Structures are given as C-alpha cells and as structure tokens.
Chain A
C-alpha cells in the first residue's frame, strides 16, 4: 500500500484517477446484479402465477409473504422447502445488494491505491448501509 500524499493547501487540485479496471468492475457488478435479480424474480413470478391459478388481487394486497423471510433462518427454510415467495425475496435481496457490492468494490480500489481518506469515507458508507438492513430495519419493525 502506498502512503497517501499530504493535502496541498493551494494550487491546482490533485487529480487521482481510479484505474480503468474499477470502472469495468463496477459496470459488471451493476449489470450482473440487475440481470441476476430480474431473472430470479421473473422465473419465480411465472412459477407463482402457475402455482396459484385461483388467487386474486385482494389476497395479494392483504398478506405480505416477506414477513416470513425477515430472518435468515426463515428465508433458508423457505428456500429449502421450495417456497416460491422465498425465491422472489432472494431476487429482491440481490437487487438491494447490487449497489452495496458496488460500494464494497469501490472500497477495494481506494484501499489498493492507498487513499486513506477515501477508504475511510467508503468504509463508513458501507457500514451505514449494513446498519440500515441489519440494525435499523429490525429495530423499527
């Protein structure tokens, strides 16, 4: 790891370009996350429609299946038992996780470049995102 240069107090701004690899990797993360989540949700949605021919809009609006899958154990048992809504939920989770993975990859590149301040900033953003899902959401449920 290289040492972060001291901040200049005047003169032209310090230009530090991220490597092209960072842009390529983040584009890949966005595309892969989107395609994976849409494929999972699309497949699970078709399966849900086939498996529930007699269901109606009121049954959907009155019950939210995600409540069963808010814990890791609930989601795991739903997946093991082949519950279609559990697979729909995983598709949604992949979509939510895509920007978080993108932030994590940014953290990797800033750390590799030895930029301590940007590493700290990106790490803080990543921690805040995880706090939202793992702490704040369950607390206010």
Chain B
C-alpha cells in the first residue's frame, strides 16, 4: 500500500479521511476492536502522518466511539459504574505512563521502533478477539475482602432470557495488575486495549460477558482521556486531521451498533481480522524500513 505521494487538494483529502474513519468506526464496532486499530495504521500507511500524530488521533477515535456506544450501555445499566471507577485507578496511571513513553520515544526519533511495536501489539490482540469465552454468565466465585468492602457486585436484566442476573467481583488484585498493563498499552499506542480489559473483567473479576464488555467500554473512554490529555498538551494531536476522523468514526460506530444485531459476530470478525492483520504487517515492514 502506498501513501498519498501526490499533493491532494484539501476537500478530497478531508473527505477521504472522513470515509476511511467511517469504515474504521464500522469495522472497529463490528469486530469489537475499536476504531483506533484500523485508523492508526491507515493514517501512517495511507495518509503519511507521523507516528505520534497517528497515535494522538487514535485517542480521539476512542473518545468518539466510546462516548457514542458507551451512553447506551450506561443507560441500560449494563456498565457497572462502581467496578469501572474502581479499576480506573489502575488504567489511568498506566495510560499516563504509556503516553509519556510514546512522547519520549518520538523525541528520541524512535518512531520506527514504535511502529514495529505497534504492529506487533495489533497482531497480538487479534487472536484474543476471535477466541472469546462462550460462557455468558460464569459460575459464582467468592468475593475477596476488597470486593466486599467496596460493594463490587450488582445485577443486570438480561433481555435475552428475561431474568435478572446477579454478579460479584472476585480476585481484584490480579485484575488491577492486568488493568494497569492495559492502561500502559492503551497509552503507548492510542488504542482502547479492550481485549485486555475484558480479559481482566471476565477471567479475574468473574463478571458476566455482557457486564464485562459494557464496563470495558465505559472504562476505555477514561483511559483514552488520560492518554489524549498528555498527547494534546504535548502537541501531538492535529485538529485538522483529528476532527474529520472523530466525526467519521463516531458515525461508523453508531452505524455498526445498529447493524451488529443482524450479523453474526464471529463471521464479521473472521472477515475483517485478516484486513487488520495485513495493516499491522504493513506497519511492521514500514517500521523496519522494508515497505
């Protein structure tokens, strides 16, 4: 794939950005990966933006998509605000550290290394997106002391079975550790790192799949705000690039959330994940100077 090597007029350039962002928001929503995973490599590979500007734009993408889809989860009480707020104490410092490291790497002219790492992380998260747990509601585990103290439990109404499903968070310490790591990855690369967040919420906290997905989405926005704040104040968000991308991904994500109920998730993932894998490989090759 070649970058736009010729000088393009502003209107078609912005329109192309919006269209690519709509596609990214749609694919990100349908695959559950979020828009950043598609937008960041395309900005670098197709539009020729610098790596930190692409990463800064990735944060803006996450903010737009998580606000667009997160409002529905919060309204329907699928997002557990208490558990989400509690875990943000780990993801936010992680994102601050990750974004700071990205700025330093960029200052040190290590963009190529950042690109290779970005591509590898993108490839690494793809299997986790396909191999999702098939247990909607796991068997209950005893709550630990911290979970009891903070009241990290609740219930939601499952429309599919028309019953209220209670749940309780367990094993909060390892979950906090994974969340810190997810925050670092998110801050470093401008992605939501939802795969890691859902892993911590499902596997360690033992939350039902729907609550885990919705709470992860709720948290992703706050984690991205931490990274975006650093990148913004460091001057690595370009409003003329970020604005059309934010508008496009929000529209794409909203369209995706409307289309999603009529599609089989696994089929959608299997169709689009090879495309994302190719983009990730292209990013690695570019980082290595081979593309």
Contact = CB atoms under 8 A, between A and B. Distances in A.
Nearest to B254: A34
A24, A52, A59, A98 pick with most chain B CB within 10 angstroms: A98
A56 interface: yes
Interface stretch (B114-122, B227-235, B262-270): B227-235
Contacts of A79: none
B71 interface: yes
Nearest to B81: A18
A77 interface: no
Contact of B148 (A8, A48, A137): A8
B282 interface: no
Contacts of A26: 74, 81
Contact of B225 (A7, A89, A129): A129
A63 to B, nearest CB: 9
Interface in B109-150: 143, 145, 147-150
Contact of A132 (B107, B151, B229): B229
- Secondary structure class of chain B's binding surface, majority of residues: helix
B149 A7 contact: yes
Contact of A118 (B13, B150, B225): B150
B75 A96 contact: no
Nearest to A106: B85
B230 A13 contact: no
Please classify the interface of chain A as helix (H, G, I), strand (E, B), loop, or mixed, using the class held by over half of its residues.
helix
Report, as a range, how many residues of chain A touch the other chain: 35 or more
A86 to B, nearest CB: 9
Contacts of B77: 23
Interface string B1-29: 00010011111011000000000000000
A109 B277 CA distance: 43
Contact of B10 (A8, A11, A42, A52): A52
A67 interface: yes
Nearest to B104: A140
A124 B4 CA distance: 44
Contact of A58 (B7, B238, B243): B7
Given A34-B68, A53-B11, A96-B232, 19 more contacts: A7-B145, A13-B168, A27-B71, A31-B71, A57-B8, A88-B243, A89-B239, A92-B232, A92-B237, A92-B242, A99-B221, A103-B85, A110-B85, A117-B150, A125-B92, A128-B226, A137-B230, A140-B103, A140-B230
Closest 3 CB pairs of A and B: A137-B233, A133-B229, A7-B149
